[in-house]
Structure 1
């Protein structure tokens, strides 16, 4: 069984949301905690949209993280992160994820460079 069949984008978003904002959603722009939920993303229904009542900026669960703006589904990124933790090669990761080696290399490179991007702000 493929690892990706065990994951879904909804659960991945929930995990990212919990780790990113352990004490509640905060604006990634001004760090205010007065937030309103907006509609969900049309293309990725798992992503919750928000609007900050402080600075009026709109954002979603992935804004300002390494996962934002990627063409691969979120579950591919989360699975890739897990496989990197197992110290698999890019070739092994590409095989496990069902992506070509160039995409696996790009994914692991971006995760290494931007892995700190989804942490919460004090």
Structure 2
């Protein structure tokens, strides 16, 4: 999957990407593996996070239930951006860090 870094700062895009990757074969309950699922609106604090309910076991879940992203205080876009940067070459990161530091130091000079 090709990802544009500009999209990674958009939480709605990040949720859509997680849904696409996680639910490639359709939505299924992370508790009982049933595919009898209905949508139950969106999260109050994260409006891009889709809620679901399993018609078989009755449990509710959302896009992040059962993932490493669940129950963390950082927004999903922060996690996705971190994953993006983990894929960079070490020398590229070193060069970017050096340029960033030099740019900050120049801005701080009176």
Normalising to structure 1: TM-score of the pair?
Answer: 0.66
Structure 1 vs Structure 2 CA RMSD: 2.3
| Runs of 4+ displaced beyond 3 Å | 3-6
Distance 1:30 1:7 in 2: 33
Which of 88, 105, 108 is residue 86 of structure 1 equivalent to?
Answer: 88
Distance 1:83 1:57 in 2: 35
Per-residue deviation, 1:6? 4.9
Distance 2:43 2:51 in 1: 7
Residue correspondences, number: 90
Which of 25, 28, 32 is residue 26 of structure 1 equivalent to?
Answer: 28
Larger Rg: 2
Q: Which runs of 5+ in 2 are unaligned?
A: 98-110
Distance 1:86 1:49, change over 3 A: same
Normalising to structure 2: TM-score of the pair?
Answer: 0.73
